[in-house]
């Protein structure tokens, strides 16, 4: 995940992550996808519908939960923007990583509160390396 986002600089990188849902969400795998945004990928990302469909199929096939989406903010803080909020869907965790001049700096995670239509920050603990597929 980190390597992909650093390598994507100065453009936004993105992907999915999988694991088990529960009171604490455990992420066991990440899956890198292309930023398919038409336009300025330095400040926007989009995941194609086909890549999304494949991610759901991957989760079903492997008995995993599709827990959310990660993306980078090149030369910007790891804080959700109005565009992130506007496009957010329920349930998913949105991991945002800031990358400054090609180097990862901060990691945050956010989940949409459907009642307030605002993001709530989630606590992130990094225990071990992930399996990352691309």
Partner 1 sequence: MSKVIIPTPLRKFTNQEATVEAAGGTVLEAVNDLAGQYPALSKHLLDDGGNIRSFIRIFVGDEDIISLDKEATKIENDTVISIVPAIAGGSM
Residues that bind partner 1 (CB under 8 A): 12, 37, 43-47, 49-50, 52-53, 56-57, 59-60, 65-66, 69, 71, 73-74, 76, 80-81, 83-84, 86-92, 94
Nearer to partner 1, 1 or 127 (CB): 1
Rounded (5°) CA angle 107-117-78 = 15
Half-sphere exposure of 63 (CA within 13 A, CB side): 0
DSSP 15: E
Q: To the nearest whole angstrom, how small is the minimum distance from the Cβ of residue 8 to partner 1?
A: 12
| Euclidean distance between CA atoms 60 and 112, whole angstroms | 23
Q: To the nearest whole angstrom, how small is the minimum distance from the Cβ of residue 85 to partner 1?
A: 8
Nearer to partner 1, 36 or 129 (CB): 36
Residue 59, Cα to own-chain centre: how many angstroms? 16
């Amino acid at each position: 995940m980190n390597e992909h986002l650093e390598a994507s600089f100065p453009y936004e990188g993105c992907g999915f992550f999988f694991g088990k849902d529960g009171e604490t969400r455990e992420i066991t795998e990440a899956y890198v996808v292309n930023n398919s945004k038409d336009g300025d990928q330095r400040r926007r990302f989009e995941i194609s519908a086909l890549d999304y469909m494949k991610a759901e199929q991957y989760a079903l096939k492997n008995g995993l939960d599709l827990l959310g989406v990660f993306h980078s903010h090149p030369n910007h803080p790891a804080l959700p923007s109005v565009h992130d909020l506007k496009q957010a869907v329920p349930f998913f965790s949105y991991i945002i990583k800031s990358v400054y001049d090609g180097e990862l700096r901060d990691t945050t995670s956010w989940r949409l509160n459907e009642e307030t239509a605002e993001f709530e920050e989630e606590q992130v603990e990094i225990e071990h390396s992930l399996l990352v597929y691309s």
